[in-house]
Every structure is written in C-alpha cells, then in structure tokens.
Chains A and B, each alone.
Chain A
Amino acid sequence: MKRFNPTASAKVAIGEGLICQHAGRSVFKKLAAGADLTLGSQQLLVGGIGSGKTTELMLAERELARNESMSPLYIDVSAETDLSTVNSGALLASLGMHTWRAIASKFNPPEGLSEVYTAVRNAAFGHQKQVWVEDFPEPDFDDYDRREDYDESGHWKTINVPGKLKPPFPAFRRDVKDLAGLVSKLTGFLKDQGTELVAVFDGLDRLIKADQFWSVAEQDFRAIRPLEVSVLAAGPLSILYGQGRQVKDYFDEVHYLPPAVADPRVSSFLIDILRARGADELMRFDLMQKLCLASGGVLRDLISLARNAGENAYLEDADNIEASHVDRAIEQLGNSYLLGLGTRQKVDLRKLLRGDGFAPSDSTSMELLITRRVLEQSESRYEVHPALATVLSQTSNDPE
C-alpha cells in the first residue's frame, strides 16, 4: 500500500524506482537536452494538475546532473515562499540563494562574493536597518533663512525591511534589475569555474490562473536571460488558453504534458505504472485495466484510485482487491469531482457526454478544465473525466 501513495513526493517515487518512462510521453530528456544544447534557454512545461510535471522536472534535473559541467538547481518556489502574495523578484531571490549554496558546497568563495550573498539574502528574507528620525520636524524655511541655532536632535530607529521570500507582507515592488545584478555575480562565479547552471523552477503551476503566473514570473524570467542560466519551469494549463499573450513569445520551448493514454489496449504506460508499484500482486489484470480507464490518464488519479481500491479491500479484510472495491473507488473519485459543481457546469458536462462538444472559451468552462473535470484529449477534443462521468449518469434524476 505504501507504493500507492498519491501524496508521496516525486523525489521519493523516483528514488524507489516507481516511475515509468514512456518514450511517447516523457519530456524530461527533451528538457535536459534543450538546457544542455542552448545555454541560457528558457523552457516551459505545461500540463494539468496531477499530470506528472514535477516528476518530469526532477527526472530532467537528474539527467542534467550526469553532465559534470552542469549544475541543475531544483527550486520549488511554492515551498519557499507564499506565492499567492508575491510578485516579481521571488524567483531571482530563490535562484540567488540556491546558487550560493551550490558555490559554498563546492568552492571556496572570495569574501567579495560573500558580501554579494548577504545582499541577496537580505533581498530574499528582509533585514533590519537603522534610520535617523528627527525629534522635531524641520520647519518650512521658504520665508526666512535657517537659524543657526536650529536644533537637529533626533534618534536612530531600527526598521524592518521586508524581503521577497518572507511572508506575509503586502506586495513590495523592488528593483528586479538590482537583484538580477547581484545574482549575476554569483552565477558568473560558477561560470568562471566551468559550471553551467540550470534553474529548475517548480511550483509555479500552482498559480492556476494565467495572470497570476505572469505577475510572478514575467519580470524574473526576463531578468534571468542575460545571466545565461538555462531555465526549466512548470506552468499551469491555463497559460495555453490565455488571451492576449502568446506563451511561445516568452519561452524558447513550450512542452505540453497531456493526460496519458488511458486505454491499456492502446498504451501500456498506465498499466506499467501500476505494475511497477506491485498492483498485479493485489488485483487481476482486468481490474487494473478498469482503473486505468477510470483515471482518464491523470497520473495522480490513477495512483489515488489504486490506493483507494486497496483501502476498500483492507477495510473489508479481503485478501485481494475485487471488482466491488475498484467500483467503489471509482465512484468515490467521481463524487469528489462532483462536489461543488454548479447547475450550469453540470449542464455543460452532460452536453459533452452527449457529444455536443466543448470549448474552454469562458471562465466557467476554463474552470472545468483546470479542475480536471474535463480532460483535454487533443487540441480540440475534450472528454468528461471518466470517474465523474460514471457518477453524473447516476445523478441525472437528482433535484438540483
């Protein structure tokens, strides 16, 4: 059961060999190759929630680390700061902190560089400074000359200057250029030592709305360009549907991670994932197939379904996972997607189920896509999440 933990970190899953690579779907090799071949390039990995973006980024980091001259830095920005209250500068500050750690772990940095690090740290976490506060405010000398005996008494006061990474505080616009200048000294040091940095920024995909993503990332990515540090970043699905911005104008490459092919008759990818976690010791092959189809190709949902089926069997003291346990797990997942759905959304979903088509052209339909109630099968083909479809058909007679 431990191997079916949908909340386990990707790092743990990779370390325990629970990950499957599939040539037609995995993008980490392309990400790594792109960062290696074109230094300073910026690549974006986009996909829905639970599609495996973090795993791909971590695999890319591992791939890059095989190259002795490359130093990939995996940075989960969402774990380091409160992204919901931050705008520009946070990525640069994080990059600066991680670059310093890389320098300090491998080299003996000169003192001047330590001072640069202190400045970056202050920018990241804030600092205190002393300011002179006058006891009596200076009078307005417009009408007469300043008296020689004017008393300039006052006192020093300690104030806190907030940083980029220390929540909570209101939005603080800082000169990103100054911060980039400091960070460039750190990255430049590594370059001089023959080490090429690759910044792997994870967590930005949690900003599910495109404008949130841009408010955090736009200035920082632009500021990182001159540093010639390659960038790999995760982005939310909504970015591909954003109005007014062409995401390809901002990144050298945009990689899209679609839902996996759910039908095991077409692709063995999902079955391989279940097998890697020992599912065939717990259930029949046809039940594994049923889980794959019910997941809609959303990797986290597949793991969650398998775990839940196992839990259902455990609670019944069953020796194996049976069909009833799988059916109940699918229904439970479907119900969790059903929770919170409005009337209009249910109507749209039932239309899609009837084959009427779907277009993420307004906020209601975009929300269905972002929350994975609707899954994209191709650029213009969409389907209702299979687990949700199962329970929607059961609730057709429910009063709204």
Chain B
Amino acid sequence: MSFKSAPIFEIVRLIDLQPPGETGFCMLVDASSEPRLVRDLQEELAVQNAGSLGVIDVRDETVPALVEQLRKIQNAVVLMHGFDGWNEGTFASLDVNRSRLETGSFLVFSVDLETAGRFLDSAPNIRSFLGSNIFVAAPDPSAMGPEEIADRLAQLRRYYDLSDAEVIQRAANRDLPSEPHFIEWLILLGRSELAR
C-alpha cells in the first residue's frame, strides 16, 4: 500500500483549488517532525498567498473543545496534530460530529501511519469525506540544501540500518514497508519513480 506522496508546495496548490469558504479535508501521513511540517506549510502558504495557518494540538482535547476551537479559528488552513493520543471512542465521537467541522477552513489532519488506520476505521464518515485526499508529505529536495539532504539520508540509514542501495533494491522488488520514511528516502535519492 502506498499513498500519493506530495511535497508541501503541491499540497498547498491543491488546498488553493478549494473554493473559498467551503470546507476541505486532507490527511497528511507524515513521518517528519511537527515543527518542520508546520514551518514548511506556513512558508508555502505565505509564498503562494493561500492564506494563514492555524495549528491545534488535539492531544488533550475533547471533541467538543476541538469543535469549539475550530468554530472560533479564523485561519484559512488549520493543521491538527496529536491524534496519536486519541482512542477509538474519541475518533468515533469526532465522526458523529463531522457536520460541525464544516467551518469554511481547509482542515489538515496530521497523523502517523498507525494512527491513520485507527482514525479512519473509527470515523467512516470522515473517511468518506477525505476520499483520496490522503498524502504522504514528501520532502522537496529542490528546496533543501545539499547538507540538509545528506544529514537526513544519514539519519534514515542509521535508524533503519540499511544502505541507500539496499533501499533502492527493495523498492524495485516492491519489497519496501509502506512507512512514509521510505517514500521520503527514495525521493531524497532522486528515485521518486520507485515510490509509486
């Protein structure tokens, strides 16, 4: 299983397609750190003139409290993270209250792969609204310096104890796990065609 990987600038292009005032949804299955994702989104939204970014950490929030925050927030795009702390009942409660998420903002659910499965299994109405709008936030090598790319590749090699050549080989054999990290790895190596 692999999701569409898209660099942040493409995701923002898609967000920009949403008619103003109509709520949009997307889910970002992102392996990178939240601060980097938030920073990248903020910069890209500013450059593309696609609106401001609001960020909500939902970790300790109840659904009613989240709904109330969304009702008050004025930003064009709202990124929510911290769902890994939610249980299935809370996801189900959010699902029942799906109508109250329609605030006119574009909502981005940032989750890891495991949380994505739990979330969507317990929230079939929200899954239906998301449709195919589930992405792996891919790195944008054209916007990263060579040192940044080299550092990140070194991090991935250390974490998984695999070499670049091994990852490429396994991708060619369709034998790579579906973790977003591996999609990122292939893109940084300039082998994004193997990530499909």
Contacts and interface: CB of A to CB of B under 8 A. Distances in A.
A binds B: yes
Interface of A: 1-2, 5-9, 12, 49-50, 76, 78-79, 82-85, 167-168, 203, 206-208, 298, 300-301, 304-305, 307-308, 311, 314-315, 328-329, 332-333, 335-336, 338-340, 367, 370-372, 391, 395, 397-398
Nearest to B93: A84
A22 B123 CA distance: 30
Interface of B: 1-4, 6, 10, 13-14, 17-19, 22-25, 62-64, 67, 92-93, 95-100, 102, 116-118, 120-121, 124-125, 127-134, 174
Query: Which of B1, B13, B23 has the most C-beta atoms of chain A within 10 angstroms of its own C-beta?
Result: B1
Given A84-B96, A311-B14, A208 B124 contact: yes
Given A5-B22, A314-B13, A391-B1, A206 B98 contact: yes
Contacts of A307: 131
B131 A336 contact: yes
What 3 pairs across the A-B complex have the smallest Cβ distances?
A304-B131, A340-B117, A332-B132
Given A372-B124, A372-B128, A78 B1 contact: no
11 contacts: A78-B99, A78-B100, A82-B63, A208-B95, A314-B13, A329-B132, A332-B132, A336-B120, A339-B117, A340-B117, A340-B118
Given A5-B19, A311-B17, A391-B1, A333 B131 contact: yes
A313 to B, nearest CB: 12
B26 to A, nearest CB: 10
A7 B25 contact: yes
Contacts of A207: 96
B177 to A, nearest CB: 9
Nearest to B89: A84
B117 A78 contact: no
A339 B116 contact: yes
Contacts of A300: 128-129, 131
Given A78-B98, A84-B97, A339-B116, A398 B128 contact: no
B96 A1 contact: no
B134 A339 contact: yes
A332 B4 contact: yes
A206 B98 CA distance: 8
Given A78-B99, A206-B96, A371-B121, 10 more contacts: A1-B17, A9-B102, A49-B124, A82-B67, A83-B97, A207-B96, A315-B10, A335-B2, A335-B134, A336-B131
Contact of A370 (B118, B124, B133): B124
B89 to A, nearest CB: 8
A143 B30 CA distance: 73
Contacts of B120: 336, 339-340
B1 A335 contact: yes
Contacts of A82: 63-64, 67, 93, 96-97
> Which residue, B4, B127, B132, has most C-beta atoms of chain A within 10 A?
B132
Given A49-B124, A168-B62, A372-B124, A308 B133 contact: yes
A78 B131 contact: no
Nearest to A371: B124
Contacts of A84: 63, 92-93, 96-97
Contacts of B18: 5
Given A203-B99, A336-B130, A370-B124, A395 B1 contact: yes
Nearest to B94: A84
Contacts of B125: 49, 206, 208
B24 A168 contact: no
A159 B13 CA distance: 51
B64 A168 contact: yes
B1 A7 contact: no
A76 B93 CA distance: 16
Contacts of B10: 315
A299 to B, nearest CB: 10
A42 B174 CA distance: 55
B192 to A, nearest CB: 13
Contact of B131 (A2, A301, A314, A397): A301
A332 B23 CA distance: 21
Contacts of A7: 22-25, 102, 129
